[in-house]
């Protein structure tokens, strides 16, 4: 035997096998692309939402204990059998398959901006046209309610003629956005579905034009197009003119209608059924390679970092689309509309002209506060010990200082039921104070005017008296809050709630409940910038509050309510101030605690001191941005423990609280069983964690932890 020939044959066979393995692996990798059809979408796509492996996920969720208990609870309470929707749901999942998406192409943001302009114009004109009728409806003069057709005609005329016909031109330019949707329906099914759609062409009305075009070289797509001017025939035009009764308005509307067109396109690519809608089919275009596709943009580079995860959904929105959705100018437009309404009220005998400069000021202030940075965004929803979401970009988090390390979040109790913590951008505190003052001034003017309009002399005198007595005192209190409290507190704030507080020893309360029951403990936290200012504020606030309370009618002279003197307790890390109240303990004591770095308002002195001790000896973990945590398992445990306690002591409780009707016997058992069923469902839900923070770009992460979803 010629061993050389054998070796050569073996080498060729091995190379062939390796080659086939490589090809199959490439095809397999292509099949498992985590973002499906995104690798075919052009880079000028402005919005895309996609679903991945949804059918498999719903099947797995359907087998989970949490889902079974949820269904059992739902069917018990509603009486509806969910098995009736199993078949249509299964059909929907068969169509969605392993990948489905919808997207909006280039030009979508431009259309949204035009819609925003038209909407703002509509709001302004609506108040101008409907203002007198609105005043009449409130009994404030104005005009009688007009005929609906006449009102609509006036409204359209005003909108189309406003701004020298700008709105009419915008309406002429406005078309359907470029929309594409698709689903991977299974091998061989896509062509079959396309053929079924094509077969419908024989039954289309004559004004629908059919055509064929190609994408990606030789991939055939069909399209059906309709022009409004072909559908809107002479008879329809004549009917519209008669109904409107205004030749000029009818001509403008005809011109707008005649510009409208729609084209429906469909075809198949890579086993995907693709449909598109738009003014034409120019947006039906696809990339030949991944390098030229939407998948190559920087946002999807971030998303591809999660490619090994069990992805369920993804999204992408361009900067221009997000900017158009935000419509920042709408705040100013609403302010301008309110000014128009105020001016129209004067015609009805209500003079609120003093409010006009304030309303304009409010519009400027709110627009300034709403001035955020906007970035394109991409996000991924995936399975990992529940559901997780990760995204990059998007709207900046207004008011949030993204650079400051938080003290509370890394040091709060791990089993706390609720945590919310963030650091505030200092400039927003000033803006918030300014807006609050503007709103207060507006409310005062409106309140004064409302009293005058009512015309009751006694009410007017009473309002004037309280205004004279209370307003200076309220302004004094506000000055303390604005100048000392706001400047004394630091930028970080938060709230923590845990469910481990002990019960106070309330006389007459069952001993077993006091011994074994738990209460929520709440602590509101703020960092401290200037303790001296806060101390001065406290010394001034108590007398200021007492002055306001003393004005409340019904109190005997010399016996007006006064805040009692506070007591103080020096702790290791904070000084606590509290009022002498009955039935309190260290774990149930409404109090204010302060140090050079920390400020707390709390229901529990003990809880405050525990948190303060953790902050003084900090966790090394660095956390920035906005943090929110909710531990559902802590709440479920808390509720379950209380239910058990009440079950074991039901008779004692009923005898102790004879003023209330406490369910007993079979009635109580039925209620307890219903609560336990609800708790058994909730037992599968552990926690929800949310964080909004900034690295090079803004990030959003959240985790909905569910035991049965891995």
CB distance 423 to 404 below 8 Å: yes
Whether residue 58 has pLDDT greater than 50: yes
Q: Is 543 within a domain?
A: yes
Whether residue 532 has pLDDT greater than 90: yes
Q: Is 580 within a domain?
A: yes
Q: Which helix (H) or strand (E) holds 472?
A: helix 457-480
Which residues have C-beta within 8 Å of that of residue 702, sequence separation ≥ 6? 388, 389, 688, 689, 690, 691
Whether residue 14 has pLDDT greater than 60: no
138 and 195 both lie in a single domain = no
Q: Which of 10-24, 157-171, 273-287, 343-357 has the lowest mean pLDDT?
A: 10-24
pLDDT in tens, 214-264: 999 889 999 999 999 999 888 888 998 888 888 899 899 999 999 999 999
119 and 33 both lie in a single domain = no
Which segment, 141-150, 342-351, 367-376, is predicted with the most confidence on average?
Answer: 367-376
CB distance 352 to 342 below 8 Å: yes
95 and 160 both lie in a single domain = no
pLDDT of residue 68: 67
pLDDT of residue 97: 60
pLDDT in tens, 660-703: 556 667 777 778 888 887 788 778 889 999 999 999 899 999 99
CA separation for the pair 701, 695 (Å, rounded): 12
700 and 664 both lie in a single domain = yes
556 and 445 both lie in a single domain = yes
96 and 116 both lie in a single domain = no
In a 3-state reduction of DSSP, which class is residue 340?
A: helix
H helix runs in 586-648, sequence order: 605-616, 632-648
CA separation for the pair 52, 339 (Å, rounded): 49
CB distance 266 to 221 below 8 Å: yes
pLDDT of residue 2: 45
208 falls in which pLDDT band (50, 70, 90)?
very high
CB distance 41 to 286 below 8 Å: yes
In a 3-state reduction of DSSP, which class is residue 560?
A: coil
pLDDT of residue 326: 87
454 and 523 both lie in a single domain = yes
CA separation for the pair 50, 380 (Å, rounded): 10
Residue by residue, DSSP assigns 362-408 as HHHHHHHHT---EEEEEEEEEESSSEEEEEEEEE--TTB-SSSPPSS
Q: Is 494 within a domain?
A: yes
Q: Is 656 within a domain?
A: yes
Arithmetic mean of pLDDT, 642-660: 77
Residue whose entry in the numeric block shows the structure tokens 């995936």 = 382
pLDDT of residue 476: 92
Whether residue 464 has pLDDT greater than 80: yes
pLDDT in tens, 513-527: 888 999 999 999 999
CA separation for the pair 21, 210 (Å, rounded): 45
Higher pLDDT, 180 or 185: 180
pLDDT of residue 26: 41
Higher pLDDT, 627 or 329: 627
Higher pLDDT, 56 or 427: 427
Residue 436's CB: how many other CB atoms inside 10 A? Answer: 13
Torsion angle of alpha carbons 476, 479, 484, 489, nearest 10°? 120
Arithmetic mean of pLDDT, 408-431: 92
pLDDT in tens, 86-139: 555 555 555 556 789 999 999 999 999 998 888 888 877 777 666 666 655 555
16 and 54 both lie in a single domain = yes
Which residues have C-beta within 8 Å of that of residue 298, sequence separation ≥ 6? none
CA separation for the pair 698, 372 (Å, rounded): 12
Averaged confidence pLDDT in the chain: 83
Higher pLDDT, 460 or 594: 594
Which residues have C-beta within 8 Å of that of residue 350, sequence separation ≥ 6? 135, 140, 141, 449, 453
CA separation for the pair 451, 474 (Å, rounded): 20
Whether residue 211 has pLDDT greater than 80: yes
Q: Which domain holds residue 167?
A: 109-174+327-370
Find the radius of gyration of the CA atoms of the chain.
Answer: 34
Higher pLDDT, 346 or 46: 46
- The phi and psi torsions of 505 (rounded to 5 degrees) equal -85, 80
Arithmetic mean of pLDDT, 301-309: 91
pLDDT of residue 666: 72
**Of 545, 100, 457, 127, which Cα lies nearest the Cα of 312?**
100
Q: Is 242 within a domain?
A: no
CA separation for the pair 221, 213 (Å, rounded): 5
pLDDT of residue 527: 96
Of all residues in the chain, the percent with pLDDT exceeding 90 is 43
Higher pLDDT, 14 or 209: 209
60 and 163 both lie in a single domain = no
Looking at the 3D structure of the chain, how many domains does it have?
Answer: 3
User: How buried is 489 (Cβ within 10 angstroms: 0-12 exposed, 13-18 middle, 19+ buried)?
Assistant: buried
Instruction: With both helix axes pointing from N to C terminus, report the angle between 531-550 and 457-480 in degrees, rounded to the nearest 10.
Output: 160
What is the C-alpha end-to-end distance of the chain, expressed in Å?
Answer: 58
Whether residue 459 has pLDDT greater than 90: no
pLDDT of residue 15: 39
pLDDT of residue 571: 86
534 falls in which pLDDT band (50, 70, 90)?
very high
372 falls in which pLDDT band (50, 70, 90)?
confident
Which segment, 239-248, 340-349, 419-428, is predicted with the most confidence on average?
Answer: 419-428
CA separation for the pair 303, 296 (Å, rounded): 11
Instruction: With both helix axes pointing from N to C terminus, report the angle between 426-454 and 457-480 in degrees, rounded to the nearest 10.
Output: 170
426 and 555 both lie in a single domain = yes
CA separation for the pair 534, 524 (Å, rounded): 16
Arithmetic mean of pLDDT, 534-559: 84
509 falls in which pLDDT band (50, 70, 90)?
confident
pLDDT of residue 39: 92
**Of 167, 147, 146, which Cα lies nearest the Cα of 157?**
167
**Of 555, 615, 613, 602, which Cα lies nearest the Cα of 576?**
602
Whether residue 270 has pLDDT greater than 90: no
Q: Is 363 within a domain?
A: yes
pLDDT of residue 38: 93
Task: Name the token pair of 395.
Answer: 């709207």
Whether residue 16 has pLDDT greater than 50: no
17 falls in which pLDDT band (50, 70, 90)?
very low
283 and 350 both lie in a single domain = no
461 and 587 both lie in a single domain = yes
pLDDT of residue 686: 92
Q: Is 359 within a domain?
A: yes
- The phi and psi torsions of 621 (rounded to 5 degrees) equal -65, 130
Higher pLDDT, 343 or 89: 343
* Residue 124: alpha-carbon gap to chain centroid: 27
- The phi and psi torsions of 391 (rounded to 5 degrees) equal -145, 160
In 543-625, DSSP assigns E strands to: 567-570, 575-578, 591-594, 598-602
pLDDT of residue 371: 82
Residue by residue, DSSP assigns 280-301 as SSTT----SSGGGBGGGSHHHH
CA separation for the pair 104, 118 (Å, rounded): 21
Higher pLDDT, 493 or 338: 493
CA separation for the pair 522, 331 (Å, rounded): 36
In a 3-state reduction of DSSP, which class is residue 130?
A: helix
SS3 content of the chain, % helix, strand, coil (to 5): 50, 20, 25
Q: Is 129 within a domain?
A: yes
Higher pLDDT, 144 or 183: 183
169 falls in which pLDDT band (50, 70, 90)?
very high
Whether residue 623 has pLDDT greater than 60: yes
pLDDT of residue 581: 74
pLDDT of residue 506: 83
């Amino acid at each position: 035997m010629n061993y050389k020939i054998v070796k050569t044959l073996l080498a060729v066979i091995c190379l062939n096998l390796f080659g086939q393995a490589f090809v199959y692996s490439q095809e397999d990798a292509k099949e498992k692309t985590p973002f499906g059809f995104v690798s075919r979408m052009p880079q000028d796509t402005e919005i895309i939402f996609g679903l991945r492996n949804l059918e498999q996920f719903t099947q797995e969720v359907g087998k989970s204990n949490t889902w079974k208990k949820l269904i059992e609870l739902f069917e018990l309470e509603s009486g509806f059998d969910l098995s009736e929707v199993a078949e249509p749901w299964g059909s929907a999942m068969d169509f969605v398959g392993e990948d489905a998406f919808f997207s909006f192409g280039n030009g979508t943001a431009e259309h949204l901006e035009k819609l925003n302009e038209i909407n703002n114009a509509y709001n302004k004109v609506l108040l101008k046209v409907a203002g007198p009728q609105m005043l009449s409806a409130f009994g404030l003069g104005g005009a009688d309610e007009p005929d609906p057709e006449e009102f609509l005609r006036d409204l359209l005329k005003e909108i189309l003629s406003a701004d020298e016909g700008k709105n009419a031109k915008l309406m002429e330019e406005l078309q359907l956005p470029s929309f594409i949707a698709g689903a991977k329906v299974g091998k061989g099914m896509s062509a079959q579905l396309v053929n079924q759609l094509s077969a419908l062409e024989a039954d289309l009305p004559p004004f629908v034009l059919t055509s064929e075009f190609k994408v990606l070289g030789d991939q055939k797509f069909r399209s059906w197009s309709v022009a409004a001017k072909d559908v809107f025939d002479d008879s329809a035009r004549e009917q519209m003119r008669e109904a409107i009764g205004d030749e000029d308005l009818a001509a403008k509307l005809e011109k707008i209608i005649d510009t409208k067109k729609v084209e429906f396109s469909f075809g198949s690519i890579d086993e995907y059924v693709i449909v598109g809608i738009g003014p034409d089919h120019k947006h039906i275009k696809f990339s030949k390679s991944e390098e030229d596709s939407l998948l190559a943009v920087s946002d999807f580079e971030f998303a591809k970092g999660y490619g090994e995860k069990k992805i369920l959904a993804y999204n992408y929105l361009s900067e221009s689309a997000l900017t158009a959705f935000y419509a920042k100018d709408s705040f100013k437009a609403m302010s301008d509309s309110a000014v128009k309404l105020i001016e129209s009220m004067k015609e009805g005998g209500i003079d609120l002209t003093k409010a006009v400069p304030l309303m304009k000021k409010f519009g400027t202030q709110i627009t300034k506060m709403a001035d955020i940075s906007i970035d394109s965004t991409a996000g991924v929803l995936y399975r990992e010990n529940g559901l997780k979401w990760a995204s990059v970009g998007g709207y900046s988090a207004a008011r949030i200082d993204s650079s400051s390390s938080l003290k509370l979040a890394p040091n709060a109790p791990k089993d706390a039921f609720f945590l919310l913590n963030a650091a505030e951008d200092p400039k927003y505190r000033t803006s918030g104070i300014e807006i609050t003052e503007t709103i207060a001034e507006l409310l005062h003017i409106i309140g004064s005017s409302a009293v005058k309009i009512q015309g009751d002399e006694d009410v007017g005198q009473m309002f004037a008296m309280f205004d004279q007595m209370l307003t200076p005192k309220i302004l004094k209190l506000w000055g303390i809050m604005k100048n000392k409290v706001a400047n004394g507190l630091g930028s970080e704030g938060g709230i923590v709630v845990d469910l481990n507080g002990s019960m106070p020893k309330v006389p007459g309360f069952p001993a077993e409940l006091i011994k074994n029951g738990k209460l929520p403990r709440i602590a509101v936290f703020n960092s401290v910038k200037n303790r001296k200012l806060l101390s001065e504020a406290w010394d001034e606030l108590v007398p200021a509050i007492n002055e306001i309370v003393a004005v409340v009618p019904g109190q005997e002279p010399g016996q007006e309510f006064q805040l009692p003197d506070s007591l103080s307790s020096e702790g290791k890390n904070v000084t606590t101030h509290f009022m002498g109240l009955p039935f309190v303990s260290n774990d149930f004591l409404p109090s204010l605690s302060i140090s050079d770095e920390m400020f707390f308002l709390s229901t529990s002195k003990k809880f405050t001191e525990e948190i303060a001790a953790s902050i003084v000896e900090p966790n090394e973990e660095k956390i920035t941005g906005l943090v929110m945590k909710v531990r559902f398992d802590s709440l479920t445990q808390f509720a379950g423990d209380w239910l058990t306690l009440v079950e074991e002591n039901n008779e004692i409780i009923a005898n102790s609280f004879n003023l209330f009707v406490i369910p007993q016997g079979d009635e109580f058992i039925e209620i307890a069983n219903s609560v336990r069923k609800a708790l058994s469902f909730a037992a599968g839900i552990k926690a929800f964690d949310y964080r909004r923070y900034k690295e090079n770009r803004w990030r959003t992460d959240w985790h909905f932890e569910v035991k049965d979803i891995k």
